[in-house]
Structure 1
Amino acid sequence: MAHITRSIEIDTSPEEIFDYITDLDRLTEWATIVKETRDLGDRPIQQGTTFSQTVKAAGSVEIDCDWHVRQLERPRHVHYEATAPDGGEMQMSQTVTRLDDGRSKVEIALDYEVPGGILGQIADKLIFEGQNEKEADTSLENLKRILEDGV
Structure 2
Amino acid sequence: MSDFRESIDIDRSPEDVWDYVVDFSHLPDWQASAVSAQSLTEGPVGVGSRVRVVRHIGRREIPMTMEYTEYDPPHAWALQGVDGPIRGHVHGEIDPIDDGRHSRLTIELDFEGKGIGKVLLPLVVRPQIRKELPHNERTLKERLEHGVA
Q: Does 1:135 align with 2:139?
A: no
Deviations 1:19-61 (A, max 9, x none): 1000111111111121111343446522211121111224x33
Equivalent residue, structure 2, for 1:19 = 19
Equivalent residue, structure 2, for 1:90 = 88
Q: Which residues of 2 match residues 104-115 of structure 1 at below 5 A?
A: 104-115=103-114
- Larger deviation, residues 136-145 vs 44-53: 44-53
Q: Does 1:63 align with 2:62?
A: yes
For residues 42 and 21 of structure 1, the distance between their equivalents in structure 2, rounded to whole angstroms, comes to 19
- TM-score, structure 1 as length reference: 0.84
For residues 124 and 24 of structure 1, the distance between their equivalents in structure 2, rounded to whole angstroms, comes to 24
How far is the alpha carbon of 1:130 from its aligned partner?
A: 2.5
Equivalent residue, structure 1, for 2:144 = 147
For residues 149 and 48 of structure 1, the distance between their equivalents in structure 2, rounded to whole angstroms, comes to 33
Amino acid at match of 1:54: V
Helix, strand or coil: the match of 1:45?
coil
- Larger deviation, residues 69-78 vs 125-134: 125-134
Q: 4+ residue runs of structure 1 moved beyond 6 angstroms?
A: none
Check conservation: 1:2, 1:129, Cα contact below 8 A: no
Which ranges in structure 2 are unaligned for 5 or more consecutive residues?
none
Amino acid at match of 1:137: P
Amino acid at match of 1:98: P
Equivalent residue, structure 1, for 2:47 = 47
Amino acid at match of 1:38: Q
How far is the alpha carbon of 1:128 from its aligned partner?
A: 2.9
Amino acid at match of 2:91: S
Amino acid at match of 1:128: V
Figure out how many residues of one structure are paired with residues of the other and give that number: 147
How far is the alpha carbon of 1:126 from its aligned partner?
A: 4.7
- TM-score, structure 2 as length reference: 0.85
Check conservation: 1:63, 1:84, Cα contact below 8 A: no
Helix, strand or coil: the match of 2:3?
strand
Equivalent residue, structure 2, for 1:32 = 32
